[in-house]
Structure 1
Amino acid sequence: MKTKMLLILLLSLLFSGALQPAADGQEREKVLSQLIGNWLTNWHYSGKKIDDDFSAKSFAQYTKYLDNGKSFLIQADLETLKAYTFKIDDELRSGDFSLPRLGKQLLRQRVLQVRDICLEILSKPFDFSRDDRIELDSDKRKTSRDLAQLREWWEKWLKYLTLTQYLNLQKTESGQKNGSAKANSPFVAALEIRARQAVQKSVLRLFNRLLQERSDDMQSLFFNSLIAIFDPHSQYFPPRAKEDFDIEMSGTLEGIGALLGEDDGFIKIFDVIPGSPAWIQNLLKVEDLILKVGQGDEEPVDIVGMSVSDAARLVRGKKGSLVRLTVKKTDGRIMQISLVRNVVEIQETYARSAVLTDDKLKKSFGYIYLPKFYHDFNRSAGRNASDDVKKELQELVALGVDGMILDLRSNGGGALDDAVKLSGLFIEKGPVVQVKDRHSAPQIYEDRDGEISYRGPLVILVNSLSASASEIVAAALQDYRRAVVIGGEHTFGKGTVQVMLDLDRFLANDMKHLRPLGAIALTVQKYYRITGASTQYQGVVPDIVLPDLYTYLGVGEKSQKYSLPWDTVSQLSFSPWTLDPDKLTELKSRSQKRREANARFQQIAENIVRLKKQRETTLVTLNLQNFQAEQETLFQEAEKFNKQQVEIAHIRATVNETKTVGGEAAATDPISEKRKQWLSDLRKDPILEEAIQVLNDWQGLVPAH
């Protein structure tokens, strides 16, 4: 904390002196450029230089952001813009905004032309009996050669939008919420007309939004093209987006609880917030694409090509209101998900535990689920993840469990302090993680109390969505040989730290009239394991690798452009636990034999192959019968896999009848339906079954510590 405060103080002094008023006519953009350029070059962890190489990469990123989806610009436009390929570094220093102004002008010209083209196309019925196909992955398409080729693309895209709208109307007419209409369903001309009219309304909204693009939105696009070259987690927030961020952080506006991002012109689910309506309903998943948003019974709005901030405004709304999302699942299914907006149910974000009893082994095991590393910094007696996990541990130890499972799957991280304290619950004392900025030696975070809350066999569960603080805990306890880490091929690999900086704070007093400037999230530090290896990029590789449904999605730092690389610092001195490498090798060997013989893991592996194949299939039919048939097959395959997920008969899951609150035993309320469902889901999880087997093997192989 002292390091961060010192950094902010030094930078405040630096910029209050550096940004004195220049000559008359100096534009706000020049000051903004100067600020962002100084932050990037002086304080970003990477130390990258702003030069011609940076300029060329920024130019490529800018043109991609400007026309994400290759839906408007033609090759002649890109040729016109190419004059700026090696000038962006100079523009950033001078505050010259010639490139974004030209880009906005060219985009506006093409939007007007495409609008007229679309109105003409939509004035006539589509022929869904033809075997047309559309390539949805813009990386597999070249920029349109001319307006004629651009028209061909829009004719296919509008046909695709109308086709999906037609199927939604068909489901509504038949009273079907989800699933696919039968492949032999007769074509209804009246539905095609309604679908085409709805698509016309939707695309006209898109064109109007693009034509009314605010200047700060175009500035944001330009600056973020530059910042993206440094790393994927640094970002510029214009004033309006900064307000959205503040609202989100304060939790004062209700919504569905999903973090949205943009990918190839589509709005993608990047994260689902624990305790939110989407998290509780459990239908909306990471990597799902939102195609349309409908308010209550109103006509859905197509959000493909829409900015993330505008899409978020449609998704958010008042508590108790209904929002309908048309979603393309990762397996290709198109379905509608209805959600009632609400605030996050805080109780659902807290650590909770269960006792898993294996009737075959005649043993019981503690299970602790931690959705995120929360910490209430506003109250001295507020709840935090490490204290809550400690209480759960104490209760489970008192029950005499034979081993412990800490589930950090899909835990995106949180408070560093809690990651350190939580790790300390399982070791006597010693270093846990190293944190380093660009200019200083690593700072070591240690467990110093000498106390251990649990000494027995320990398994940590992770997946590709386990990130940041989760990776710190898994890495530390793996390095101490204190726990066996089980999960997919690797965790997310986010080993960086960002600070959010309000740019208004760094203006001299006589430049306050330029406010507001917005804010910048800047990557300033990296995490390193006690072995000296970074958790960045590579993540944590589990000791025992099991099939992970998110592995095929390519989730993590490795899939993101310009991620900071893996590197090392010096190893620290620490005392490993009693799980020596030979015993770990034996645990791995036994686990592999069980996995190969387990039908459930074979089913998961087959499902991953199916999903991966479907995800790579981006050339989509525009023939109604074929499209219906494909959707019907996808829903049938998904249903088949879901039916295979049954409770494991010999495993029982229960919660304690009492909980210790403030040192006194208090009777719990009857188990809610949600908690019953949670316990049932635990019994269906083959990874938990294997974790129990690993803990049982550990008991037989490793002497008590």
Structure 2
Amino acid sequence: MLRSEDGYAKIESLVPGGPAQVDGRLKVGDKITAVAQGPAEFVDVREMRLDKVVEMIRGKKGTRVRLLAIPSDATDPSRRKNVELVRDEIKLKDQEARADIIIRKDENGEPIKLGWLTLPSFYADMDKHQKSTTRDVLALLKRLKKENIAGLVVDLRRNGGGSLEEALSLTGLFLKSGPIVQTKDYNGYVRISSDPDNGIAYNGPLVVLTSRQSASASEIFAAALQDYGRAVIVGDKNTFGKGTVQTILPISRFASLLGSHSDEDGALKLTIQKFYRVAGGSTQLHGVASDIILPSLSDLPEFGESALKNALPYDEVTKAKYTKWSDTHSLFIDQLRRRAEDRVKNDPEFHYVMEDMDRLRHKIDENRISLNEDVRKKEIADDKLRKETRSKERLARNQEEPRIYRVTLDTVDKPNLQLVMYPGKLAEAKKNGVAPKVDPEAAPDADSDLTGSGAGSNGDNNKEPAIDPERDEALNILADLVDFSRGPKTASANHQAPTSPQ
């Protein structure tokens, strides 16, 4: 998995059993500077869009790709390593739904157990029907409910969409019944797609965490839950804003009239439909606006449908008939927003985020990189000093970390769960010379090397846990929502740890 950092495609994690991990030469933290197809010349990928870099690295099974990378442990920034890999088919376990059981203290110092559901995409096996996002999430929710969670966060920050059918059925897990999304075709006909199942898998307090990277099916899910008053939407100002449907038409179907039947004739990608919320507005261009906005590096106007050329405009259709989640139940949006704003204002981690946002904004506006060696060395030294300073400040704060237990599809029915070690305890362990076991599926972090000797330094090829202020504040908001929803006389939930954690 790659992420963009300072113009480079930085390796964030290696897929277990994949060609790169089996080869062993590429490490977490390496920065890819160029890509070559087989014996062809290298193509410089610095400052290239991440999806374009990924497209160049991917290819047919058995073909070769060469990567030129800066080693993560390189003291000389001019050092490079040339790695040739043979492409192979891999199963992306990190693209499956997974969950966390988080035990932390509320503002009164009382323990509270919260659930976290990470959904990388709305995946489905279109041919064999062996894989289903909804089926996987349902299994995870059953385990979370068994553990008596008081509330749930659904994390869609890196979910670019996927199957419409899965988006509909997954949304239905949190609603009683009713329409989920409206679709208008090229001739103006509007079709309403509804919840395919009247059952509810989870009816407790719910927060949906989004970003500018949340697109398409993610926006359908978040928009429906927002329109029904079912969930509090938290994250970037807006989601991506992709409210259109495309289809692929092979040119050979038409070229056959001219005597050509080759599959190499190419294809046309045509937009044929637009999505609309049950409240009537389109998700196109505007996306889904957050009820509570949190500072983040992805919240820039350059990210999203509105930044693309020839984007279709926003419009509306007639509101569908639907019943709100509850006329008497409030989501306490105003109270939650005030509390969140106060915490963000006083949170050093969000101060770091806002400093990084200012620096990123300056880089984008300036749109240039110095070729002066002394200037570049000073920039590298400044970055290193800033990271070291933040690391020391984090250790000095010595904040109490929550206990987090990971639930995957492989462990959902097992009594023993993996304890995830997050930044504070990880840094403390490293300081004491201990190489702690870290869960490989922890979320990414822009400052992942702040906790000590850098990503992958504990001897494996997996990323370290994240410093993620958005995650932490989403949990704060959920805890507040749980508190408000209980009312003054309701007893607290069960706070026992998951069964026999490892």
Report the TM range for the smaller structure's normalisation.
0.7 to 0.9
* Correspondence for 2:495: none
Which SS does the other structure have where 1:601 is aligned?
A: helix
Query: 273, 279, 288: which one pairs with 1:525?
Result: 273
Letter in 2 for 1:561: K
* Correspondence for 2:423: none
Measured against aligned partners, the alpha-carbon deviations of 1:400-453 in whole angstroms (never above 9, x if no partner) come to 011011111111000000001111000100111111111142111101422110
Which SS does the other structure have where 2:439 is aligned?
A: helix
* Correspondence for 2:344: 595
Query: 479, 483, 486: which one pairs with 2:234?
Result: 486
Query: How far apart are residue 588 of structure 1 and its match?
Result: 1.3
Measured against aligned partners, the alpha-carbon deviations of 1:72-130 in whole angstroms (never above 9, x if no partner) come to xxxxxxxxxxxxxxxxxxxxxxxxxxxxxxxxxxxxxxxxxxxxxxxxxxxxxxxxxxx
Partners of 1:509 and 1:528 in 2: CA distance: 38
Count the aligned residue pairs.
430
Matched, 1:474 2:222: yes
* Correspondence for 1:163: none
Query: How far apart are residue 630 of structure 1 and its match?
Result: 3.0
Instruction: Give the TM-score, by structure 2 length.
Output: 0.73
* Correspondence for 1:694: 477
**Aligned 8 A contact 2:282 2:314 in 1:** yes
Letter in 1 for 2:97: A
Letter in 2 for 1:604: V
Partners of 1:337 and 1:687 in 2: CA distance: 35
Partners of 1:657 and 1:519 in 2: CA distance: 39
Partners of 2:286 and 2:78 in 1: CA distance: 33
Partners of 1:361 and 1:521 in 2: CA distance: 55
Q: Which one has a larger percent helix, Structure 1 or Structure 2? A: 1
* Correspondence for 2:439: 675
Moved more, 306-315 or 682-691: 306-315
Partners of 2:392 and 2:247 in 1: CA distance: 45
* Correspondence for 1:323: 67
Partners of 1:657 and 1:537 in 2: CA distance: 34
Query: 376, 396, 403: which one pairs with 1:652?
Result: 403
* Correspondence for 1:350: 96
Which SS does the other structure have where 2:184 is aligned?
A: strand
Letter in 1 for 2:335: E
**Aligned 8 A contact 2:411 2:417 in 1:** no
Does the C-alpha gap of structure 1 residues 703 and 428 become closer, same or farther in structure 2, counting only changes over 3 Å? farther
Measured against aligned partners, the alpha-carbon deviations of 1:258-307 in whole angstroms (never above 9, x if no partner) come to 99xxxxxxx997x999969799977589xxxx753368999955468999
* Correspondence for 1:569: 317
Query: How far apart are residue 391 of structure 1 and its match?
Result: 1.0
Letter in 2 for 1:557: E
**Aligned 8 A contact 2:405 2:419 in 1:** no
Letter in 1 for 2:298: Y
Query: 340, 358, 363: which one pairs with 1:614?
Result: 363
Partners of 1:320 and 1:514 in 2: CA distance: 26
Partners of 1:416 and 1:528 in 2: CA distance: 13
Letter in 1 for 2:96: Y
The alignment-based identity, stated in percent, is: 30
Query: How far apart are residue 512 of structure 1 and its match?
Result: 2.8
Query: How far apart are residue 619 of structure 1 and its match?
Result: 3.9
* Correspondence for 1:560: 308
Unaligned runs of 5+ in 2: 22-26, 72-76, 421-436, 444-462, 488-502
**Aligned 8 A contact 1:502 1:519 in 2:** yes
Instruction: Give the TM-score, by structure 1 length.
Output: 0.53
* Correspondence for 1:426: 174
Query: 162, 184, 196: which one pairs with 1:414?
Result: 162
Partners of 2:377 and 2:361 in 1: CA distance: 21
* Correspondence for 2:494: none
Query: How far apart are residue 677 of structure 1 and its match?
Result: 6.0
Does the C-alpha gap of structure 1 residues 272 and 532 become closer, same or farther in structure 2, counting only changes over 3 Å? farther
Measured against aligned partners, the alpha-carbon deviations of 1:544-592 in whole angstroms (never above 9, x if no partner) come to 1001111237210121121111111111111112376672211212221
Which SS does the other structure have where 2:344 is aligned?
A: helix
Letter in 2 for 1:650: E
Matched, 1:292 2:34: yes
Unaligned runs of 5+ in 1: 1-255, 260-266, 328-332
Does the C-alpha gap of structure 1 residues 541 and 272 become closer, same or farther in structure 2, counting only changes over 3 Å? farther
Query: How far apart are residue 342 of structure 1 and its match?
Result: 5.3
Query: How far apart are residue 352 of structure 1 and its match?
Result: 0.7
**Aligned 8 A contact 1:653 1:683 in 2:** no
Query: 114, 120, 134: which one pairs with 1:365?
Result: 114
Measured against aligned partners, the alpha-carbon deviations of 1:385-407 in whole angstroms (never above 9, x if no partner) come to 11111111111011101101111
Which SS does the other structure have where 2:265 is aligned?
A: coil
Does the C-alpha gap of structure 1 residues 583 and 378 become closer, same or farther in structure 2, counting only changes over 3 Å? same
Does the C-alpha gap of structure 1 residues 293 and 642 become closer, same or farther in structure 2, counting only changes over 3 Å? farther
- Bigger Rg, which one: 1
Partners of 2:63 and 2:388 in 1: CA distance: 32
* Correspondence for 1:376: 125
Which SS does the other structure have where 2:442 is aligned?
A: helix
Moved more, 590-599 or 422-431: 590-599
